[in-house]
Amino acid sequence: MDIRRIDHIELYVGDARQAAFYFGTAVGFTLRGQGGPETGLAGQRSLLLGQADIRMLLTTGLTAEHPASQYVSRHGDGIAVVAVEVGDAAGAYAELVERGATPVTPPRTWTGADAEVVTAEVGGFGDVLHRLVERRGDADDFLPGGIEAAPPGGADPRLLAEIDHLAVCVPPGQLDATVAHYERVFGFAQIFEEHIEVAGQAMNSKVVQDASGRVTLVLLEPDAGRRPGQIDAFLTEHHGAGVQHLGLRTDDIVGAVGALGARGVRFAGTPAAYYDTLEQRVGKVDAPLDQLRDLSILVDADHGGQLLQIFTESMHVRRTLFLELIERRGARTFGSGNIRALYEAKERELAVAGATPAVAAGTA
């Protein structure tokens, strides 16, 4: 299959307008389109947001039977569709189904004055679907006859560049099967794996990626033989497999974190002691350490270079979905070295106070 990139993601949410207010006001997305029953999207209200090359569709079901309503009832707000652009949606759909994908929505053509879009859907992981999107003509016409373009609004701040990866939690014992499914059905390749253990908690991680290198899933599975941790908590609150966080790449993480923080985004804190040994772990960092410390930005390194990353607090009542901002300076991995470094930093701080850390900090 000719998978080219992530075309968009779709979140099923309880209130699309409320979610759009958060992503617009706090995260810097702009309204690019909207649709509902009056545009041919029966039983739903959808708002299309964008920033640079990131497109996010927020959908609320207007009836109890709508898939968005059922998803939110079971999982809460979350990423329900990961859409990929392909050269031939109908052909890709047929090929995927033949390989064993669960068919969900057969190919449909959406036609406008200057564009034609073909979509089809198959099952992915848990209740998350993959939408195949074939675009012809005007690439800015997101869904002709379904989503109407919004009037031009404020300037796009372009704090974020593109979707870097999606981190997916799966129940214990399902990691290998999920990897095999993406290899066999979707033609992805496993590019990384590791076992992470700290403070009695442990998880297994494997990363799969399509041939273009632009669609990446970081798959996480808790080690059932260890003490329950954050992956277990996600699976419990989310009621099954799903996207734990969305990794968004930025070209300037210091500027982006400062700007988003001023807009009201709340980021996970980092112990000050983490920075005491930072350059011993990762080498010289081309950024002022006091600035990284003030903003709680993490740094990790692999054979390709360094990466800078930070995680937001979850914006959802179930404390499930959250965002990661990541700036890659040659690194190809995902910052797992920060898990132990964060825990050890917290341990040093608590030792000074005569306490013992109760849980490990975690990233993925």
CATH number of the domain that 131 lies in? 3.10.180.10
Please give the Cα distance from 97 to 123 (Å, whole number).
10
- Whether the Cβ atoms of residue 165 and residue 208 lie closer than 8 Å to each other: no
**Total domains, the chain:** 2
- Which residues of the chain fall below pLDDT 70? 343, 345-364
The per-residue pLDDT for 200 is 86
Each residue's pLDDT tens digit, 74-125: 999 999 999 999 999 999 999 999 999 999 999 999 999 999 999 999 999 9
- Whether the Cβ atoms of residue 229 and residue 343 lie closer than 8 Å to each other: no
Q: List the domain range (segments joined by +) for residue 29.
A: 3-149
Same domain, 223 and 275: yes
Phi, psi of 207 (to 5 degrees): -115, 130
Same domain, 145 and 228: no
The per-residue pLDDT for 364 is 44
Residue count of the chain: 364
- Whether the Cβ atoms of residue 114 and residue 149 lie closer than 8 Å to each other: no
Q: Of the residues 94, 116, 149, which one is the last residue of a structural domain?
A: 149
Same domain, 74 and 103: yes
The per-residue pLDDT for 343 is 64
- Whether the Cβ atoms of residue 138 and residue 152 lie closer than 8 Å to each other: no
Same domain, 137 and 175: no
| Strands, sheet with 54-61, edge to edge from the N-terminal-most edge strand | 103-111, 115-123, 129-137, 78-86, 3-12, 54-61, 44-51, 30-35, 148-149
157 domain residue, yes or no: no
Same domain, 271 and 216: yes
307 domain residue, yes or no: yes
User: Binding site annotation covers 121?
Assistant: no
Same domain, 321 and 193: yes
Q: What HEC string does the chain produce?
A: CCEEEEEEEEEECCCHHHHHHHHHHCCCCEEEEEECHHHCCCCEEEEEEEECCEEEEEEEECCCCCHHHHHHHHHCCEEEEEEEEECCHHHHHHHHHHHCCCEEEEEEEEECCCEEEEEEEEECCCCCEEEEEEEEECCCCCECCCEEECCCCCCCCCCCCEEEEEEEECCCCCHHHHHHHHHHCCCCEEEEEEEEEECCEEEEEEEEECCCCCCEEEEEEECCCCCCCHHHHHHHHHCCCEEEEEEEECCCHHHHHHHHHHHCCCECCCCHHHHHCHHHHHCCCCCCHHHHHHHCCEEEEECCEEEEEEEECCCCCCCCCEEEEEEEEECCCCCCHHHHHHHHHHHHHHHHCCCCCCCCCCCC
Q: Of the residues 149, 175, 202, which one is the last residue of a structural domain?
A: 149
CA angle 313, 318, 323 (to 5 degrees): 30
The per-residue pLDDT for 229 is 86
Same domain, 269 and 328: yes
The per-residue pLDDT for 284 is 95
154 domain residue, yes or no: no
The per-residue pLDDT for 346 is 63
User: Binding site annotation covers 165?
Assistant: yes
361 domain residue, yes or no: no
Each residue's pLDDT tens digit, 203-250: 999 999 999 999 999 999 999 999 888 899 999 999 999 999 999 999
Q: Of the residues 149, 182, 200, which one is the last residue of a structural domain?
A: 149
Same domain, 216 and 290: yes
103 domain residue, yes or no: yes
Q: What is the pTM of this model?
A: 0.93
The per-residue pLDDT for 189 is 98
Same domain, 128 and 77: yes
Same domain, 190 and 212: yes
